[in-house]
Amino acid sequence: MKKYKTYDIIDSKAVFIWSLFFIINAVVAIQLKVLTIIPDELNPLGVPAYLSGLDWSTSISNYKNYYGYGQAILYTPLFYLINDNILLYKAIILVNSFIVSFIPVVAYKILKEHFDMKNDKITLLIACVVGAQPCYLTLSKRAWNESLVMLLLWIVCYLILKCYKTYNNKKYNCINSILLAIALMYGYATHGRFIAVIAAVIIIVFLYIIAFRKKVISLIPFTITFLFLYYVNKLIEGYFLKKVWLVNSESELRNTFAETFHRAIENIFSIDTLYVYLRAFSGYIFYLLIASLGLLVLGVIVYCKVIKVYLQHNKGLCNGIENDNIIFFGAFCICLVICAIGVAIIFFTTDLKDASGYYYIYGRYTEYLLGPAIMITLKLIIKYGVTMTDLAISSLILVAHYLYTFIIEAIDITNPEKTVVSLNIFTLESFSYNYGIEKSKLSFITAILVALICFIIIVLLLNRKKYICSFGFILFVFIISYAHTANSVLIPDSQGMYQSLQSSYHFFNNIKLDNKNKTIYLYNIFPHNYQLALKDFKFQPIYDENFILEKGTFIIVNGTKDYKFGCDYHELYKVKLDYDLNDEKIFVYGNNLAQKLKEEGVKLNGFTYILGDVVNYSNNNNSNNYLNRGWSVQENWGIWSEGNDSGLYFPLNEQPKKDININLKVSAFNSEKNVEMYVNGDYLSTLCFTTGVNNYEVKVPLDMIAGATSLDLVFKITDKLVSPQEIGMSADTRKLGFGLYSIKIY
C-alpha cells in the first residue's frame, strides 16, 4: 500500500501562497468599519439578513437592482452569531479576504498541472502576480458579490482545462463537465454578469467542435446539470425576489438577465447606439490595457504568432499536450474578454447613451478577467519569448490606442483643475482610476504616461529574459497600487462614512426598544447609509415634507434640512445627543415613545417654538432645530447665511392671537445688505442689514398669520455676494450674506 507524505496531500507551497495573500488582504480588512454601505452591498446583504430573521425589504425595495445570492448567502451564519455591527462588517470583509486568497492558489495549480511549469520560483512568482491583481485586493473590501465572482472565474478556468485534458476519457470528462456546469451556474447565481463566462465557455466549446472536431466537454451531462441547476436557481431567486425585493418578476428589476436582454433588443438597432457601443468597446479595452500594464496587448501579439505557426504546420510547436493547452486557454481568455466587454456595454447602455464619460472607460464588469489573461501572457512569454519586433508592435499599438482614447474621452472632462491626482497614477482598480482621470486632462495624460513607463520597464527586462526581475516589478506595481488605494481610498472612506452616522449608531445601540418602535424614517437620506449599522431596524425613506409619520417611530435628518414633516409637532421631540459628532439629528415622534426614552435617561427637547423665547444660534445649543435652507455651519457666536436665499422654520406651540414682532440680531458680511423678508410665502418687508451687530425688529400683522401653526421665514438678499477669498480676507470660498446671532418672536 502506497504511503503518502503530508506534502503530497497538502501542498505546502499552496498553503504558503494562501496564507501570504490572506495576510495581505486582512491587514486592510481589519481596519475597515464601514457601516454606510452602497446599494451594491445593501442588496446582497438583504439575503442573509432575511434568512437570519431581519426585514430589510423596505430599504432594498427602494433600489430596483438585483445582485444575486450566491456569495451573500454565505454570510448568514455571521448575521446569527455576531451582534456587534462593526464586527459583523469586518467579519464579512474577512470572509471576502478568505475567498480571494484562493485565487493565486488556483493559478498555481493551473500552472503546475496544465502548463507544466518546472521552475518553482517563477511559478510562485506568476501565481503571486496574478493574485495581486489590484481588483482582487480592492474589490474584496466591500460586502458585495465580487469576491466569489472572481474566484469562481478561476475555478471555471481550472475545470475547463481539466475537461480539455480529459476529453478522451469519458468518465473523468463527464465528472469534470458536471463540475464545470455547477461552477458556471453558481457563478450566475452569485451575479448575473457571470453570463459572460457562460457565453465564453459555450463559444470555445463549439469553436473546438467546429474547427478541430474535438469535444472539450461531455455535452449531455453538462447540459442536463446546467439546466437543472438553472431551474433550481430560478426557484430560489423567485423566492428572494418576493421576500426581500418585494417584486414578483425579475423583469421588474435591473441587473437581471430579462431586463438586460430587453435593454439590448430595445437599443441594438439604433445607429446612435452602435456608435456608443463601439466607443465603449474601445474605452473598455483602454482600461484593460492600463490595468494590465500593457501586458494584454503583448500577450495577444505573441499568441497570434504562435497560432500562425500552429496553422502553418497543422500541429503544435512542441510535442505533448502543453502547447495545445496554451492555444486552448489563450482562445478561451480572448472569448472571455470579448464576452465580458459585450455584457458590460449592454448593461451600461443607458449610462453610455446619457454621455457619461465615466462609463466609457469603466472597468467594473471586465477587470475580474484580467488575472487569467495575465497568467497566459506570462506563460506565453516564458515558453516562446518575445522579440524586439513583438515589443515594437506592442508599444506602437499601446501608444496609438492610449492617444486615441485620450482624444476621444478627454473632451468630456471639463474640470478646470490643473493638479495631477495621485489616485490615477498608482491605483489600477476601476472606481478610483476613473475618479482620478476625470479630475483633469492633465491627470488623464499623466496616467497614460505612467502606464507606458511601466510597460517600457517590463519589456526591457523581458527582452533580456530577466523574467524574475520583470515579474517582480509587475508584482511590486500591483502591491503598491493596492497599498495606495487602501491608504488613500478604502480606509479613509471607511472611517469617514462611519463618522457620518456615528451619533445614530451610538444612540440606538445604547437604548432598549420594542420591535414595534424599531421603525426609522430617513428624511432625504438613502436607506443604505444606515441599514447595516442598525441592522435590527426597519427604514423608511421619505422625500415629501408632507409625508404622514406613524407615532412611535424615529426620524433622522443629516445636515441642515427642511423639517416641515407632516405630523403633530406637539408630539415631536429632538434627541439631545451625548455623542454628537456629526450633523445627524434624531427626532422621536409620539408621546408614549418619548416617555419611555425619558425613563431610560434620554434627554429630549420639544420641537415647537414657544412665542417669546430667545433662540441663540451659537453652536452650543439647539437652535439648529429651526434652521431651514441657506445656512453654513454654526459657530461659537452664531451662523452665516450662505447664498442669496436662507430660511428659518418655527412650528408654534399655539396659534397667534394678535400681531407679533420678530426681533433679529444680525450683522452683514463686508457691506450692507438689502434683504427681502417673507412670512409663510407672503412678502413682509425689506430690511437693510449693516456690517455692525445690530437688532432689527419687524411687525407681522395678524391677518397675515391668522390660523397659522408655524412660521416659515425666508430672507432674500438682493445684493451681490462675495466670499472672504474674493476680498483677500482668507481662503474661504463661501458666498456669505449676513451673520445671525439670535431671534425672538413675541
In the predicted structure, residue 394 carries a pLDDT above the cut 70: yes
- pLDDT recorded at residue 200: 97
pLDDT in tens, 263-308: 667 766 666 777 888 888 888 898 899 889 999 999 999 998 888 7
Residue 74 near residue 190, CB atoms below 8 Å: no
Q: Which residue has the higher pLDDT, 630 or 676?
A: 676
CB 583 within 8 A of CB 559: yes
Confidence of residue 571 (pLDDT cuts 50, 70, 90): confident
- Which residues, 6 or more positions from 152, have their beta carbon under 8 angstroms from its beta carbon? 183, 186, 187, 190, 194, 197
Q: What DSSP string describes 8-52?
A: HHS-HHHHHHHHHHHHHHHHHHTT----S--HHHHHHHHHHHHHT
Of 311 and 401, the structure prediction assigns the larger pLDDT to: 401
Q: Specify the range with the lowest mean pLDDT, choosing from 167-171, 484-488, 525-529.
A: 525-529
- Residue 357 has, within 13 A of its CA and on its CB side, a CA count of 21
pLDDT of 624 over the 60 cut: yes
pLDDT of residue 313 exceeding 70, the answer is: no
- According to the model, what pLDDT value does residue 7 have? 40
The residue with greater pLDDT, 469 or 625, is 469
pLDDT of residue 412: 62
Reported for 171-174, long-range contacts at CB under 8 A and 24+ positions apart, including other chains, are 173/217, 173/218, 174/218, 174/221
How high is the pLDDT of residue 439? 62
pLDDT at 171 over 90: yes
**Residue 55: partners with Cβ closer than 8 Å, 6 or more residues away:** 49, 538
Q: What is the distance between the alpha carbons of residues 639 and 643, in angstroms, rounded to a whole number? A: 13
Could you tell me what percent of the chain has a pLDDT over 90? Answer: 43
| pLDDT score of 2 more than 60 | no
Q: What is the mean pLDDT of residues 155-183?
A: 95
Q: What integer is the mean pLDDT of 567-591? A: 79
pLDDT of residue 162: 95
- Name the 3-class secondary structure at 469: helix
> Mean per-residue pLDDT for 256-262?
70
**CA-to-CA distance for 306 and 377, rounded, in angstroms?**
12
pLDDT category at 565 given cuts 50, 70, 90 is low
Please check the confidence at residue 318 and state whether its pLDDT lies above 50.
no
H-state helical runs in 410-490: 423-426, 430-437, 441-463, 467-485
Q: Give tens-digit pLDDT for 83-127.
A: 888 899 999 999 999 999 999 999 999 999 999 888 889 999 999
The torsion angles phi and psi of 687, rounded to 5 degrees, stand at -110, 155
Looking at 3.40.190.10, 2.60.120.260, 3.30.450.270, 3.30.479.30, the CATH number of the domain 614-745 comes to 2.60.120.260
Residue 407 has pLDDT above 80, yes or no: yes
Cell of 462: 523581458
176 secondary structure, DSSP code? H
Q: Using an 8 Å Cβ cutoff, are 100 and 150 in contact?
A: yes
Binning the chain into helix, strand and coil, the percentages to the nearest 5 are: 55, 15, 30
Overall average pLDDT of the 12-36 stretch:
88
Residue 546 pLDDT greater than 80, yes or no = no
Q: How confident is the model at residue 322 (pLDDT cuts 50, 70, 90)?
A: very low
- 171: exposed, middle or buried (C-beta count within 10 Å: 0-12, 13-18, 19+)? exposed
Per-residue pLDDT for 689 more than 50? Answer: yes
In sequence order, the 6+-apart residues with CB closer than 8 A to the CB of 102 are 18, 151, 154
Does pLDDT of 9 surpass 50? Answer: no
Q: Map residue 686 onto helix, strand or coil.
A: strand
Instruction: Indicate if the pLDDT at residue 423 is higher than 60.
Output: no
Poorest-pLDDT segment among 128-137, 143-152, 208-217, 732-741: 208-217
> Domain boundaries in the chain?
6-496, 502-606, 614-745
DSSP summary character for residue 700: E
The DSSP 8-state label assigned to residue 420 in this structure reads P
**Between residues 268 and 630, which one has the greater pLDDT?**
630
Between 634 and 639, whose confidence is greater? 639
How does pLDDT run across 188-213, given as a tens digit for each residue?
999 988 999 999 999 999 999 998 88
Residue 745's nearest CA partner among 644, 665, 637 is 665
